Structure 1
Amino acid sequence: MTHDSTAAWRELLDTLRDLDRSFLEGDKAVTDDRQIADGYRMLATTLGVALDVYLFADPSRPQWLEVNSPWRPDRRWGGDNTDAIYFMCPVDPQRRYRISGNRGDSVYFSVTAYNEPAPGAWSDRIVALFRDEDLDVDADGNFSFEFGPQPDAAVLMTRDYQADPHTGRAVTWRIEALEQPEPFRHGDAETASALRASAAWMRTMFAILPLAVGVRNADAHQLGHQTAMAANDFAAPYQVPDANFGWSARDACYAYGSFDLAEDEALVITHRPPSCRFWNLVVWNQFMAVPGVRDARSSVNGHTAVPNGDGSVTVVVSRGMTGHPNSLTTLGYPRGNLAFRWFLADAVPDRPQVALVKVGDAPTAAG
């Protein structure tokens, strides 16, 4: 007897076998042995998220699945940062759900509903958004609201941004379906479909990754995660529209840059934060993951940054650490990417200004 799940499992194995070509071959091949190792780690991370979301999840028995975490190196995926915790939950567009919890010490939190153009395909449209400021949050920080039925909704994603996630209380999230669950069945057809969706999810991730670093002195700029840019520079910031590929936040403005640094070089990055709820700058490897560990500083946010006297903020990025109060380290990586995000900004920020200098010439104090 031939089982469809057997065929789907072998298709998934074939997908996994070939995906490392995305970072070993062609124009996007990485050259540093650490970036190659990061590629395999991202393969494992993405597989874990895919199986959680497609193979093991049940929209009639909803459960929040941790997909981004400052603490878990296996959950640094899809635009990682060290200030936030993200959860996902697949949902049925025909069902009603109750979402509740407590805001903790969050400085910004939300729930976004995304569509799914095909099984395993990444979203290309935001279908609903619930911001913390739109919710009825009581004096103790508790909230509760209903969601659905919502046509085209396939997955919910929570965002919880903290001034310091290591000391702040994270948002607590609960979700329950308001109708009886479907009869339990994990048979051949269901399993085959989930495995094929997982493989499609993996292929999409590694069609994007690794991100380009850029070429020194180039001057081409575009928008998005696949920004074509000069090395050691940023593309222009942009506001996320409702129709947007992937899992970006509708409330956010983003700007993406890259670094290509010798051991004695540093980037001096200055920007003027608009009035906003939260902003941060993070160091990424070429797989959109912060390569950092808790005892290294690879991100800075609006609560931890020391501003200049005129309200602008200068950050110094180098392969080690400098004496500047907003010093960030690439942990020795010579090449990688940089990501700014601003939440609920009153205007799209101006493009960050970048200067490539010798480490010894980098500023050591706020200006």
Structure 2
Amino acid sequence: MTSEHDSSAAWRELLTTLGGLDRSFLEGDRAVTDDRHVADGYRMLATTLGVVFDTYLFAEPSRPQFVELNTPFRRDRRWGGDNGDAYYLLCPIDEQRRYRISGNKRDSVYFSLTAYNEPAPGSWSDRIVGIWRDSDPDEIGLTDSGDFSFEIGPLPGAAVLVTRDYQADPLTGRAMDWRIEALDPADPIRHGDAETAARLRASAAWLRTMFAILPMAVGVRVDDKHVLGHEVSNVANEFGAPYQVLDANFGWSARDACYSYGSFVLEEGEALVITHRPPQCRFWNLVVWNQFMASHNVDDARGSVNCHTAVPNSDGSVTIVVSRGMTAHPNSVTTLDYPQGNLAFRWFLADAVPARPEAAVVPIGDAPTTVS
């Protein structure tokens, strides 16, 4: 009799994990209440399975390759706090190796590269190891033509790189060109039983953490110590206090960002009118999410407003009208008829933590249609 391969056991453990993850959105306090969010839950299971295989099963840190993490156009990469204004790429790395990062910024209006740790196989990051961005052109060799090239590593504690490329309008803007090259000899390819089993178990651990966070609550504070996920307002239709991300964080948050999160619950014929005064910053946006921290594709409908597309009021503030359809206001965004979900503000390289955005539910007929 042949003993079972460890990769066989790990594969069955992964299937068992997958088989139980839908309980996070079907049962208990976080159970979703409409059929589209149930369907979104299963789509999120499929999406995150693809991401985790890219990250853990197929990655070769000595032969690095950036893979798509979030894009404005791929429906299987709408997850994890995405937004329609940005492209994120990911590359697992070896902390002891050296790499060259290069490319061209094309139409990016803000970009960065962040290195994160991994406390244990499959564990989410809880520390930012390094960050490189276009605000430090000498450090990354950024030229007037948009080319850049710089070397990183060894980076003790680093396990993964995440790029950020923010576009004024991704419908017309050209995504950045990112390249990564290993500067040390590659390891031999070894996809044996033990290696595959370890990677499958890391994948399962990563998925369990994902669905410990999701779905996000609507109108309930998930965790006021930020141990899991972001800070969310405990009342629907308002925002939590904005906060600056620290070097110690959970997940793949941006070190140079401030965030403010809220939720919406809207009946037909209602609108949420949001007013905020943007600080001086490189980029800001507001994004509509479902309860799985996912937006829709940028070419489906307008689900975000940013500092380039927003039309400000005469006093410099910005009013945004969120409703289940579109309105006449120039800063109108739609939930695509979702009655509830989540909202995310982010500000990059702000000169100060922003003031809390104000929000009020009004009959849609009373919502503003022009800037003031």
User: AA paired with 2:366?
Assistant: D
Whether the 8 Å CA contact 2:72–2:297 is kept in 1: the answer is: no
The 1:330–1:184 alpha-carbon spacing in structure 2 relative to 1, beyond 3 Å, is same
Aligned to 1:68: 70
Match of 2:13 in 1: 11
Is 1:345 aligned to 2:350, yes or no?
A: yes
Among candidates 316, 327, 331, match of residue 326 of structure 1? 331
Question: What is the aligned partner in structure 2 of residue 191 from structure 1?
Answer: 196
**CA, structure 1 residues 222+189, in 2 after alignment: closer, same or farther (shift >3 Å)?**
closer
1:303-318 alignment to 2 at 5 Å? 303-318=308-323
Give secondary structure in 2 for the equivalent of 1:34. helix
The question of 1:136 aligning with 2:141 is answered yes
1: CA distance, partners of 2:38 / 2:317:
36
Calculate the TM-score normalised by the size of structure 2: 0.96
- Unpaired runs of 5+ residues, structure 2, are none
Aligned residue pairs total 364
The whole-number CA distance in structure 1 between the counterparts of 2:148 and 2:272 is: 43
Cα deviation code 1:290-320 (max 9, x no counterpart): 0355141111100000100000000000011
Question: Could you tell me which residue of structure 2 aligns to residue 115 of structure 1?
Answer: 117
1:149 counterpart = 2:154: yes
Q: Distance in 2 between matches of 1:10 and 1:221?
A: 35
- Secondary structure of the equivalent of 2:11? helix
Paired letter, 2:82: D
Distance in 2 (CA, whole Å) between partners of 1:227 and 1:118 is 27
Sequence identity (%): 74
Alpha-carbon separation, structure 2, partners of 1:241 and 1:196: 29
1:349 positional shift: 0.4
* 2:84–2:298 contact (8 Å) kept in structure 1: no
Query: Is this contact kept in 1: 2:224–2:231, CA < 8 A?
Result: no
- In 1: Cα distance, 2:296 partner to 2:111 partner: 24
Q: Is the 8 A contact 1:222 1:228 kept in 2?
A: no
Paired with 2:362 and 2:79, the residues of 1 have a C-alpha distance of: 31
Per-residue Cα deviation, 1:76-112 (whole angstroms, up to 9, x for no partner): 1210100000001000001000010001111110100
CA distance in 2, matches of 1:138, 1:226: 38
- Asked if the contact 2:233/2:239 (under 8 Å) is kept, the reply is no
TM-score, normalisation: structure 1: 0.97
d(CA) in 2 for partners of 1:15, 1:126: 28
Aligned equivalent of 1:159, options 161, 164, 184: 164
What is the CA-CA distance between 1:227 and the residue it aligns to?
2.1
The answer to whether 1:362 aligns with 2:367 is yes
Q: 1:53-89 CA distances to partner (integer Å, 9 max, x unpaired)?
A: 1110100000001010001010112101000000010
Match of 1:275 in 2: 280
What RMSD, in angstroms, separates the aligned Cα atoms of the two structures? 1.3
Q: Is the 8 A contact 1:281 1:301 kept in 2?
A: yes
Report the Cα offset of residue 210 of structure 1: 0.3
- Is the partner of 1:167 in helix, strand or coil? coil
CA distance in 2, matches of 1:349, 1:234: 12
Q: Distance in 2 between matches of 1:307 and 1:240?
A: 26
Moved over 3 A (4+): 220-224
SS at match of 1:316: strand
For 1:180, the aligned partner's letter is: P
Offset at residue 139 of structure 1 (A): 2.1
Question: Structure 2 vs 1, CA of residues 64 and 178 (structure 1 numbering), >3 Å: closer, same or farther?
Answer: same
Residue 42 of structure 1 is matched in structure 2 by: 44
- 2:238 pairs with 1:233: yes
Query: Residue 284 of structure 1 corresponds to which residue in structure 2?
Result: 289
| Residues 122-165 of structure 1, C-alpha deviations (whole Å, 9 max, x = no match) | 00000101011222211211110001001000000000000011
2:264 maps to 259
3-state SS of 1:306 partner: coil
What is the distance in 1 between the residues matched to 2:204 and 2:95?
Answer: 23
Q: Which amino acid aligns with 2:123?
A: A
Give the Cα separation in 2 of the matches to 1:31 and 1:264.
20
Tell whether the 8 Å contact from 2:320 to 2:332 is kept in structure 1 after alignment.
Answer: yes
Find the partner of 2:217 among 208, 212, 227.
212
**Is the CA contact (8 Å cut-off) linking 1:276 and 1:345 kept in structure 2?**
yes
For the 8 Å contact 1:292–1:331, the answer to whether it is kept is no
- Aligned match of 1:32 in 22, 31, 34? 34
One-letter code of the match for 1:256? Answer: Y
Cα distance in structure 1, aligned partners of 2:273 and 2:171: 27
Find the aligned partners of 1:114 and 1:30 in 2 and give their Cα distance. Answer: 32
2: CA distance, partners of 1:175 / 1:24: 41
In structure 2, how many angstroms separate the alpha carbons of the residues matched to 1:230 and 1:316?
Answer: 19
The one-letter code of the counterpart of 1:329 is T
How far, CA to CA, are the matches of 2:235 and 2:301 in structure 1?
27
Q: Distance in 2 between matches of 1:200 and 1:350?
A: 37
